[in-house]
Amino acid sequence: MLLKEATARLTQSELADIGAGEVAYIRKMDWNEVSRCFPEAPEIDPDVDLWALFGADGTPILLTDNRSSTFYRAAEDELKTVSLH
């Protein structure tokens, strides 16, 4: 089945639940995005490279300046990881 066909038959809630508790994604973040996803984060130097780990449904899990830390945390939580570009 094509992805387009599958998503046409799933509700938004059902789609968000796919991979819940099993899959997480890692992506590089700009400092100006941090407050939206991690409101409790302190002010961050714009020159620092930031990496975030999110649950499959977009729930923020971890923000760090060390990409390897995102993989370590995902492994601790037994999550399969994917990277978004």
Q: What is the pLDDT of residues 14-68, one digit of tens each?
A: 656 655 667 889 999 998 899 899 999 888 898 999 999 998 888 999 999 999 9
Q: Is 62 part of any domain?
A: yes
- 24 pairs with which residues across the strands? 55, 81
State the residue range of the domain holding 48: 20-82
Query: How far apart are the C-alpha atoms of 72 and 46, rounded to whole Å?
Result: 24
* Model confidence pLDDT, tens digit, residues 51-66: 999 988 889 999 999 9
Q: Is 51 part of any domain?
A: yes
Note if the pTM is more than 0.85.
no
Query: How far apart are the C-alpha atoms of 12 and 14, rounded to whole Å?
Result: 6
- What's the domain count of the chain? 1
Q: Is 30 part of any domain?
A: yes
